[in-house]
Amino acid sequence: MNTRTLLRTLALVLLPLFVVACADKAPIVVPVPPPVVQAPAALPPQDWRKPVFYYATNRNPREGANGSAQFGGYRSRQMSYGELRTTASGGQSDGSDMYRVNVSLDRVTRMSRASFVAELERAAARTPGREVLLFIHGFDNTFESAAKTAARVGVGIGFSGATVLYSWPSEGSTTSYLTDRNNAYFAVHALKELLTDITASPWVGRVSVAVHSMGNEAFIRAYTELAGECKGAQAGCADLRKVRAIVLAAPDVDREIFLDQHAAKLTSLDARVVLYASRADMALAASALMQGGDYERLGKNVVCIPGLHVTDVSNVKTDVLGHSWISQSRAVLQDLRCSLSEGCDRYATGLLKEMTCSPSVRYPVAGAGAPSSRATGGTSYWQLNVPNGGSGAPTSAGFGFSLPSFLTK
């Protein structure tokens, strides 16, 4: 064997040993911990004379004056998001049940979807439970009128977290009932997306929803579809369970369809579901006639439904149709605040009187309610007492702060 061959053979023998030796001396890679995610900084407390709220809408955008956004009554396939800057005045008790707070819509700004969620997180951070209130309006509402109603509710219950208006494309006309109903169905998909965005945020802890009139047609369908879908998802329904309180105010919804298709799913995730109904609601009586006369609306006559906190507000007299009390009655706002508050016992406030349903108006729902619970067992409903002298504005909002002084005098 010549010298060259000998060296080549020796190199082949020693090479694996060299590689192993080098590998043993390779630098140790220390894993880098993930960056610490800081919680969003809380916004300053609400200035109750200039409160700021938020909105999401799938109405058609229009040109606004002085840089303020405007929206019409037609559909848009794109959601718009933004901020509502308002001015609130009045609201002092005049000895009646009427809650007369004046709201002006000063400026409507637009923001991206991501910025909208980020601002909600910062506003929610003002409360210990990182709370969000979602308000959904009813039939015959322009964007402006819906924004003012949402502001009256937000101020009236003193909600200090993030108050959000979802405004679906109502034409804002009493002659557009059928158009509005179609648009409420159209709104279901957008509302599902909005609920998903809000509840998916790790910086939102608790969500309350208050829905008026025809807005219930969109919300009930959106929520119950999500409740059905999340049970088959890998992550389950943890996000949707953040919705802890749902108020159905004067729902313009077919009662039988609700009972057959939605009631069980609406109560399946253990949210507190409060139904406000009134025998004196002439708007819902007219709606029933529009449906052919034989299809009772859920919010019209008082019935007992297991799983629901059924509340009779027939004694509330704020408007000629007996339909718009959600933002106009002090007694309703006082009970609404407790209904939306975590741990608030609305049956201990003295505002409610227990009434027994006759067997003819008890509607069983399989799997809903608990027979041992008088509140939701399906045999009792609760009548809202409207004091003869009027109910003064409460001083405690139930969300960790007090109402502004100009609303309690």
Taking the chain (409 residues) in runs of 10, the rounded mean pLDDT of each run is 56 51 57 74 96 98 85 97 97 89 96 98 97 98 98 97 98 95 98 98 98 98 96 87 98 96 95 97 94 89 94 94 95 97 93 94 80 84 78 35 39
How far CA 168 is from CA of 207, 233, 364, 402, in Å, comes to: 19, 28, 32, 32
Which residues, in sequence order, are bridge partners of residue 88?
Answer: 103
Which position has the token pair 């139904």?
275
The whole-number pLDDT of residue 233 equals 81
Q: Are 38 and 146 in contact (CB under 8 A)?
A: no
Cα three-residue angle 306-303-165, rounded to 5 degrees: 80
- Rounded (to 5) percent helix, strand, coil in the chain: 35, 25, 45
- The DSSP letter of residue 18 is H
The whole-number pLDDT of residue 401 equals 34
Closest CA to 363 of 305, 312, 321: 305
The whole-number pLDDT of residue 147 equals 98
The whole-number pLDDT of residue 399 equals 31
pTM attached to this predicted model: 0.87
Q: Are 257 and 224 in contact (CB under 8 A)?
A: no
- Domains of the chain in start order, with CATH, are 52-407 (3.40.50.1820)
Q: Are 274 and 339 in contact (CB under 8 A)?
A: yes
The whole-number pLDDT of residue 390 equals 37
Which amino acid is located at 243 in the chain? V
Q: Which residues contact 97 (CB under 8 A, 6 or more apart)?
A: 316, 317, 318, 329, 330, 331, 386, 387, 390, 391
Q: What's the CA gap between 203 and 199, in Å, rounded?
A: 9
Q: What's the CA gap between 249 and 254, in Å, rounded?
A: 14
Q: What's the CA gap between 74 and 109, in Å, rounded?
A: 19
